[in-house]
Amino acid sequence: MVEQTLPTLSQLKKAIPEKCFQKSLLRSVYYMLRDFAALAALYIIYPSVQANFGLAGLFVWWNLAGFFMWCLFVIGHDCGHGSFSEYKWFNDVCGHICHAPLMVPYWPWQKDLTPFEQALLENPLSLFIKYTFLYLFAGKLDGSHVLPTSPLFSGTKERIQCAVSTLCMLVAGVLIYVGLEGGAEGGLARIGSMYLIPLLVFNAWITMVTYLQHHDEDTKVYAEGEWSYIKGALETIDREYGMGIDDLSHNITDGHVAHHLFFTQIPHYHLKDATAAVRQLLTPTGTYKKKQSWNFLGKFTELNYKLKYVAGQGVLSYVDWEVGKEEGGRGKGGGRAGGQGGEREGGGKDGWEGEHGHEGLRDEA
C-alpha cells in the first residue's frame, strides 16, 4: 500500500451522504427492542423445543439464543461508541441494559480493552477463554474489569463507573437465576441449558467475528513509525456472511471498514450506505477489502491455523504456519493491525479496535 494514494479522513467523510451521520434515538431503540424480542420469543418456545425435539432441537435453540445475544452486544457496542443516540446518558443506560445480561461490564469494556486487542494477534482460543464472565470477574495480573480496586481504573469516577457496571451485572445475574432456576424441576442444569450454553455461543461469535474483521492472508501489521489511523483502519475487512446474518448483526460484519473510520458518528443502520460510498472512493486505490465469507466457520478455523505470527520490518505480514515450518523457524514481529493500539491521528490511546480516545478524531473529521 502506498501511503500517498490514501484519501484523507476528511475526503472519506465528504464522500459519505450526510444522512449517514444522523442518529435516530427511536430507530436505535427499535433495534434494541427487536433483539430483546427475538430472545424473549426463543425463551418462550424453549419448553416446547426441549419436549418435542430433544437434543437436536436444543442444539439449534442454543445457537440461535447465543447468536441473538451477540446481536444485542452489538447494540451495546454502539452505545459505547456514542452512535446509538445524541444523548450520552441515554447511551450509557441502554448500554448497561444490553451488556449486563451478557455479563459484560459496560463502562470497563468501553474504557480499556488493551488485553482484548493484544489477544487479536494470539490464538483466539485464549481470547474465548479470557472473555467469558469468569475472566472478567477474576482477572489476571493486569487487573479485573469488575473490581473497582483494579489497577485498570484510576480516579474516583472510573472506580464508581466500574462499581455501577458490576452492580448491573450482579442484578442481571440474580434476575436470570430467579427467572430460569425453575425449582425442583430445573436447578442448575436448567440454567446451564437456557443461559450458560448460549452465553458460550455468544462468546464464540464475538471471538470469530472480531478475528475475521482483522485477519486475512494479506493483512498487514504496522510497526512503530509506519502506522497511521487511516492505514490501520483500511486493514480491516468487510465480510459478507450471508443467510441474513449481516443484517441481524446490524452490519458490523459487512460494514466494518466504514464503522472503523467513523465509529462515533455513523449508527449501524447507516453502515450499508456509508460502506457503498467508502467502497467507491477506496476501490480505485486498491485499499478496500471485502470478502464473501459464507463459509465463515471454515475460514475462521483455516486462518487461525495458518496465521500464527507476523514477520518483516516496518510493514509486517502474516506467515503461513506450514511455510514457516518448512523455512525452519518462527518469525518475530510486532506492531498494529487494523487500527489496533497506539496513538491515533486525533490523539489519545486506543481501546477496542483502536477506537477509543476518539474525541480528537471527531474534531479532525
pLDDT in tens, the chain (365 residues): 444 578 999 999 999 999 999 999 999 999 999 999 999 999 999 999 999 999 999 999 999 999 999 999 999 999 999 999 999 999 999 999 999 999 999 988 887 543 333 333 333 444 444 445 555 555 555 567 777 887 778 888 888 988 999 999 999 999 999 999 765 566 889 999 999 999 999 999 999 999 999 999 888 888 777 778 888 889 999 999 999 999 999 999 999 999 999 999 999 999 999 999 999 999 998 999 999 999 999 999 999 888 876 666 556 666 665 555 545 444 444 445 544 333 343 333 333 344 433 433 443 44
Distance of CA 290 to the CA centre of its chain: 18
**Which pLDDT value is given to residue 30?**
99
CA proximity to 124, closest of 223, 205, 195: 205
Q: Whole-structure pTM over 0.75, yes or no?
A: yes
Helix orientation angle between 25-81 and 197-214, rounded to the nearest 10 degrees: 70
| DSSP-derived secondary structure for 264-288 | TT--GGGHHHHHHHHHHHHGGGT--
